[in-house]
Amino acid sequence: MRRLIRLAAGAALLCGCFEPVSLALDAPQGEIQPGATREVELRALRLDVEGFEQTLTLDDLKSLPRATLEELWLLDLEMQPLVTNTLLFVRDAAPEQLGNQAAINMQRLLRFTPNDVDFSQTDMEEMLALSSSIGAPPARAIADLLQINRADNVIPLEVAAEALTVGLIGSHPAGQTRRGAVTADNPDGVYPVAPGHIPVTLADVVDEFANLTEKFGPVALPDGTTHPGFIDEASGFTVIEDEFGMTVKVNLNALPYKGLDLTDGSVASVNSINTQIESIFDTSDPDWLQVRGLVPEPSIQTLVVRVTESAERVFPGRAQAPLPHGDSAVWDLPAWQFERLVAEMAEQVTFSKPLPNCVEYTVGAGTVVFRGCVEASGWTTFETFNNAGNPPDDMYLWDLQVDMAQVRLHDGGLAEGEAHVAFTMRDLLVGINSTQMVERIKQNFAQNPRALRELAALTNETTVGAADFFYYRARPDGPEATAGDWLYFIAPSDIPRQSDGSFAREYSYPAPGFFADEALTQALHSTTEVDGDTEHLKVRIEPGQTLFTADDVGRVYRLDVREKPSRARIALGVQRVR
């Protein structure tokens, strides 16, 4: 009510005098009994405002129903920059900043270059030790095989970031779909999230991402397994400043439509947003939505990301088939597990280089003492003269790297299954600045009428009661063909939300619309476009006309259109016929 009064006052300043409007409910009159008749009068209220700026405070936004906030999608936040920042932090952090052996081992993997080659306890150990004995530095052998410089990271940071983004985040349900508006096109209200992104909603912003841990924490999957989540702790998000405000510029008829609750014949109010959603926001106006009070560089004070590892060591596959990965069990692991992530990284690295690639070292007069060949498929063969150094069995190149990574991950005495990598990041940039965030908000609102409707509804909450239909008088400047008085049957989108996000009432009309017969078989309604609305079932009425309609429990009423009391009013006789 407070907001409405403010709106009315503002509108008065813009448009001058207007007839007083009351949104108070009629006094309860009891259910219309079968055969009983009531006379009602409905009035078409109109208060057109142009360029009205409505500023919503953080508290205003927070007062929205939770579900509405969560469904008010702002953007899919690209996570790779954040993950890249995370890994950059891990890679360059001092050991004391990492805190635990697992994170230190993760750092070691990120820093791992051929110069740091350490294949101890892997299949390569013996062969590479022998490599030194003949004066072929293992670092060079590995670098040549991987086709990188010996100072290059075996797994480049960007590759690690991409694999983590896709594997860890992309496999989490919250990284795949998000809740959104329920529409005819999307009746379940589930929308896909761009791969490698996490959806950011108005709820996240107003909460300053307080629910990130829950959102991306453990979750049951449809197949009965559980995704362990990947954010253990998230705190200290700096996104919104004290003076936060979201200002929208609106053009609308600010007043609700008057309708009738057939059950008791009482007059109710129906928010008028639905019928004018197309024109409320002029998104071509660069100032149609403004946000202030976003910090220039949103940041996170503390973020603890966790990667779990398999309980058992995964050994390289020994067969090329089935293509393209062979028989290694690593590909059967969940996408979020460490071993699988490394496999994805290593596979990407493998195919980023020209293949096939062979590396040979010779001694004497050309005797090949080592020959490693990476075929176009990534299958890698190792041969040494006389099997010196016990060369490893043939395997895919990524399996080799996974094997190495697993061993290195358990350095420092960690047992298999204990090397869950949990690393704490501090003072990280989210990866998107305020300007970009505002533009994303504007772009996505502009492209999503449903989101606009939610926003518009926020600016103008006027639904009162439980109208089954309402009276609409076509705009005077509209086409002649649609001029006059219309009855609109209530649509699902007219039913307001409650604070918990649920709808105020169920839309359960067995026979929505208007009919010529009591049996409700001869429809008079259509979705004819009137002033842009094509959603509602509607019928144009004239005095003396008789219609039949039914309420949400199937009670049938006869409506007799009386003579109009005035230009913007209609009078109806309402008789319950069964």
Residues of the shown chain interacting with another protein in the complex, contacts defined by CB under 8 A: 78, 80-81, 84-85, 88, 91-92, 111, 113, 115, 126, 129-130, 132-140, 149-153, 157-158, 286-292, 294, 296-297, 361, 363-367, 385-386, 388-389, 429, 431-436, 438-439, 442-443
Start-to-end C-alpha separation, the chain? 37
Which three-class secondary structure state does DSSP give residue 250? strand
Nearer to another protein by C-beta: 255 or 346?
Answer: 346
Residues in the chain: 578
Please say which residue, 294 or 343, places its beta carbon nearer to another protein: 294
Give the H/E segment covering residue 5: helix 2-15
DSSP β-ladder status, 395-396 and 266-270: unpaired
What sign does the CA torsion over 261, 262, 263, 267 have? positive
* Closest CB to another protein among residues 292, 353: 292
Find, among 171, 174, 206, 166, the residue nearest to 74 by Cα.
Answer: 206
Amino acid letter, 120: S
Cα within 13 Å of Cα(296), Cβ side: 0
Question: Whose Cβ is closer to another protein: residue 149's or residue 279's?
Answer: 149
Collapsed DSSP state (helix, strand, coil) of residue 448: coil
Backbone angles phi, psi at 248, to 5 degrees: -120, 145
To the nearest whole angstrom, how small is the minimum distance from the Cβ of residue 427 to another protein?
14
Least distance in Å: CB of 53 to another protein? 11
Give the nearest distance from C-beta 277 to another protein in angstroms. 21
Shortest Å distance, C-beta 271 to another protein: 26
Shortest spacing between CB 115 and another protein, in angstroms: 6
Neighbouring-strand partners of residue 464: 269
DSSP letter at 523 equals B
Q: How far is the CB of 429 from another protein (least distance, A)?
A: 7
Considering the complex, state which of residue 81 and residue 478 has its C-beta at the smaller distance from another protein.
81
Omega of the bond leading into 296 within 30 degrees of 0 (cis): no
Closest separation in Å from C-beta 442 to another protein: 7
> Whose Cβ is closer to another protein: residue 22's or residue 386's?
386
CB of 248 to another protein, least distance (A): 10
Q: Which is nearer to another protein, 36 or 129 (CB)?
A: 129
Minimum CB distance to another protein smaller for 292 or for 318: 292
DSSP collapsed to 3 states, 70-124: HHCEEEEEECHHHHHHHHHHHHHCCHHHHCCHHHHHHHHHHHCCHHHCCCCCCCC
Amino acid at 19: E
> Where is 450: in which H helix or E strand?
helix 449-459
